Amino acid sequence: MPLVRRVKAAAVLTAVLTVLTTVCALPAAADPTVDECVSGSRTVSRYIVLFDRGTPTVEAQTEITAACGVTTVYYPEIAVAVATSADTRFDDRIGLDRAFSAQRATSRKRKSEETNSSVRRATTVPAADRSDEQWDMAMINADAAHEVTTGSRNIVVGVLDSGIDATHPDLKEAVDPALSAGCLTGRPDTTPAAWAPKNSPHGTHVAGTIAAADDGKGITGVAPGVRLASVRVVDDDGRIYPEYAMCGFMWAAEKRMTVTNSSYFVDPWLFTCTKGGQRVVREALTRAVAYATAQRVVNVAAATNENVDMANPPDSSCRVLPAGLRDVLAVSSVGVDRLKAGYSAYGLGVIDVTAPGGERLRDNGDPDRGCVLSTVPGGYARYCGTSMAAPHVSGVLALLASTHPGASPSTLTRLLNNQSQTVPCPADYDLNGTGTQDAYCAGYAPYNGFYGHGLVDALAAVSR
């Protein structure tokens, strides 16, 4: 059955439009007026709404209005809309298999990792060269790669995150304001305040790993010669609702970015399945990512920090979004010892590659030295996580795209996989010495559930 029940008879359509001018197509006297559907004292919720592919904009807007909603944006390329309504029956009228509000469904309290740190901007950022502290860059041969190229200004990496501090001296030349946008309504907002960070240094940290300047000060990113787009998809509460992420992918596609980096998973679930509202979210994100890929964007995502086997979810239909989607490169994390970090998710057939995300060192006076040093507003900080691993992959892809201009996403992905350093499954993965394996690595040396095709290699990316 099609998603949208179309009104085909002209007489019926006329009747519907007539009703719209009176009581929002609701016959009962107790039903709300048009104004009450979208405003008043009740809470206004945001919804993702699915339509049949090819549905015209006016038809989508008309149906949303008839259900007592207001269209925020309609993406005709994927036939998905974002709408708002104060009427709790909006999704019932559209159909529970077509409309869903993540805001209303959110029950657990979770913030994107490191998003609870306040953003501070210093007038002067320490200028000392700290590149010798970047064990992560040495691991992927980034320094040697820079002897060949630091990347092309024609390459753009979209950082779908909490926003980038474009005033940071290591990032000010990399961030392109013309390509940046905030997505916290589901519709791109290009005003600088919309894409700047508010209370989270997370996006700035990710950005530094990708493209911090190679200027002998602070740190250096994997691809310091490329451009960055700040695409804010994390709100002030640290949540990444599906309409935020969808908007980010659609914006990246519209602006023809080369790579997107998504160091998050979409709220309100760790695993998104195929029933009810979860199906709506899954379908909307699948369409958006597929569209971005069709526009020649390579999409990279962190595998999450839950130490779960993404290949064996509670239900076989469930996926972590966006890392579990077909058109996304999923990245696991390793520490200084090249062993899968204890927190990193994994999964045979899901993980594509691995990269340094860090692991706090045991039996060390400064355990954070095992984490990844990068930029934050006002200076530098060390964070650990798959969020830190993913931007290393995005940076290597940016170098690959620089040395292979015009290469398709599939070609860049194949090159990345083929050039990665093989990392076999560990013989023992008892991290705490308890006699129990903390995770099971399925697969074999060239490809396995912990490391995918292996550890990314920046030098190989620019040399072959």
Residues annotated as catalytic (active site), given as ranges: 161, 202, 387
Sign of the four-CA dihedral 76, 78, 79, 81: negative
Q: Which amino acid is at 398?
A: A
Long-range contacts of 86-91 (CB under 8 A, 24+ apart): 86/32, 86/36, 86/37, 86/38, 86/39, 86/40, 86/42, 86/43, 86/44, 86/45, 87/32, 87/36, 87/37, 87/42, 88/45, 90/37, 90/45, 90/47, 91/47, 91/277
Q: How far are the Cα atoms of 72, 145, 361, 368, 388 from residue 383, in angstroms, in the given order?
A: 36, 24, 12, 8, 7
CA distance 357 to 221: 14
The structure tokens listed for 97 are 């298999």
Q: What is the DSSP string of 233-262?
A: ---TTS---HHHHHHHHHHHHHTT-SEEEE
Task: Decide the pairing of beta strands 379-383 and 372-376.
Answer: antiparallel
Q: How far are the Cα atoms of 19, 135, 146, 333, 457 from residue 337, in angstroms, in the given order?
A: 67, 11, 24, 11, 16
CA distance 85 to 75: 18
Query: What is the distance between the terminal CA atoms of the chain, rounded to a whole angstrom?
Result: 50
- The residues near 47 (Cβ < 8 Å, ≥ 6 apart) are 69, 82, 83, 84, 85, 90, 91, 94, 99, 100, 101
Beta strand residue intervals within 367-460, DSSP E: 372-376, 379-383
Q: Are 261 and 164 in contact (CB under 8 A)?
A: no
Counting Cβ atoms within 10 Å, is residue 7 exposed (0-12), middle (13-18) or buried (19+)? middle
The structure tokens listed for 315 are 């239900």
